[in-house]
Amino acid sequence: MSAGKFIAFEGGEGAGKSTQTRLLAEALRAQGREVVTTREPGGTPGAEAIRALLLGMEGEGWHPRAEALLFAAARSDHVERLIVPAIARGASVICDRFVDSSRAYQGGGGGLSDVEVMELHRIGSGGLLPDLTLLIEVSPAIAAQRLAARDGDSADRIGGRPEAFHAAVAARFDLMAKADPERFARIDGNGSAEAIHAAVLAALGRLA
């Protein structure tokens, strides 16, 4: 894998994206590469401030369109101030979620069209897409076990949404991966962290 690549981890709640982000970063750094790890929403001071607004909203929360606008604004700052400069200097950027999460959550779960979400992304972030998107897929039962172990009864506002919402999110991720098999690598996330990491490393072979 050459330097200057942009890799994103995607998946539903409890998929293990944060763990796999850390493991992949460690593996690439062991090869002598500069690695920048980041997350969405977040990654820059401005984007982290929007993250607090998105995840800490009380009551009914944001309407899906307002939510999509906030995610797009956070992503715009993230792309301009962190992701693009890091790629330009040859670093490998590993992001825990990117625009495909907006397509799945505000699109599949929130009811916005994919065209609307991607138009916001075009305006805010120039339509930037990862070189490789690693979609970690887990069964609802295993995801629930992991979330219970991680969060107990304190899931954030998005993670705590109804089961039907998360089913719609998973269905949209499935559609996206089928529509763009060159960018998406589907990873079985039901096994151990070590087994998932091995599958991630194997998927990196498609990057030149």
CATH fold of the domain at 6-206:
Rossmann fold (3.40.50)
The rounded distance, in Å, linking the Cα atoms of 151 and 165 is 19
Q: Which residue's structure tokens are 């330009």?
A: 88
Mean pLDDT of the chain: 91
- Kindly tell me if the per-residue pLDDT of 64 is higher than 70: yes
Higher pLDDT, 38 or 15: 38
Structure confidence at residue 68 (pLDDT): 94
Q: Residues 43-61: what's their mean pLDDT?
A: 88
- Kindly tell me if the per-residue pLDDT of 14 is higher than 90: no
The model's pLDDT over 123-165, given as tens digits with 9 standing for 90+, comes to 999 999 999 999 999 988 887 777 677 655 555 555 566 778 8
- Kindly tell me if the per-residue pLDDT of 109 is higher than 90: no
Q: Residues 100-115: what's their mean pLDDT?
A: 93
Handedness of CA 188, 167, 6, 131 (dihedral sign): positive
Alpha-carbon Rg for the chain, nearest whole angstrom, is 16
Structure confidence at residue 93 (pLDDT): 98
Residue 24 is inside which H or E element, if any?
Answer: helix 17-30
Structure confidence at residue 153 (pLDDT): 57
Do the Cβ atoms of 64 and 111 come closer than 8 Å?
A: yes
**SS3 call for 91:** coil
Structure confidence at residue 91 (pLDDT): 97
Structure confidence at residue 56 (pLDDT): 81
Residue 165: left if φ>0, alpha if ψ -120 to 50, beta else—which one? alpha
Q: Is 149 exposed, middle or buried (0-12, 13-18, 19+ CB in 10 A)?
A: exposed
Structure confidence at residue 152 (pLDDT): 58
Question: Per mean pLDDT, which of 44-58, 87-101, 128-142 is the most reliable?
Answer: 87-101
Q: Residues 56-65: what's their mean pLDDT?
A: 80
